[in-house]
Amino acid sequence: MGIKETLQANLTEAIRSRDEIVSGTIRMVLTAITNEEVSGKEARVLTDAEIITVLSREAKKRREAAEAFADAGRADKAALEKAEGEVIAKYLPEQMSEDEIKKLIAAAIAQTGASGPGDMGKVMGVIKGQTAGKADGGTVSGLVKEALNK
């Protein structure tokens, strides 16, 4: 069973159990997936890897919105966004630890021969495929900058 089928089955379950946060979040995610499938010239079915990309994007939106609401003093809205982010996280692969990311960065720097901040694109190009869906891009980018500025 693919991720999309799992989402649809879990949506039915959430509706039956009257869990509004889970059902609403899954509906939002399924809508984002459908929008991605029909965007462009031809409609297509997304692979699980592409669905993970959509889920990662939606999770990032929730994190950013939760931070914005918290900064604005809207704790109720921030809590809702965090809850939605937690629902989405259940469908994402396990996130990499900072140490795991740093090991990948060190290997990528050695592989590319990167020596300074100007080589960030080379390092990110190598790491991007290895961390897709498993680590936040902003975190990876910050760690690469830190490693190249040493």
CATH architecture of the region 98-148: Orthogonal Bundle (1.10)
CATH architecture of 3-89: Orthogonal Bundle (1.10)
Domain with CATH 1.10.1510.10 in the chain: 3-89
Under 8 Å CB-to-CB from 150, ≥6 apart: which residues? none
The proportion of the chain whose per-residue pLDDT surpasses 90, expressed as a percent, equals 40
| pLDDT at res. 129 | 77
Tell me the chain's radius of gyration from C-alpha atoms. 18
Decide: pTM greater than 0.75. no
| Residue 10: exposure state from Cβ atoms within 10 A (0-12, 13-18, ≥19) | middle
Would you state the structure tokens that stand for residue 39, as one six-digit string? Answer: 């965007």
Residue ranges of alpha helices (H) inside the chain are 3-16, 20-38, 48-71, 75-89, 98-112, 120-131, 137-148
pLDDT, tens only, 58-106 = 998 999 999 999 999 999 999 999 999 999 989 888 888 888 888 888 8
Most confidently modeled range among 9-18, 32-41, 92-101, 106-115? 9-18
Q: Could you tell me if residue 68 is left (phi over 0), alpha (psi between -120 and 50 degrees) or otherwise beta?
A: alpha
Tell me how far apart the alpha carbons of residues 74 and 64 are, in angstroms, rounded to a whole number: 14
Q: Residue 8's pLDDT is what?
A: 93
pLDDT at 1: 74
Within the chain, all domains assigned CATH 1.10.10.410 are found at 98-148
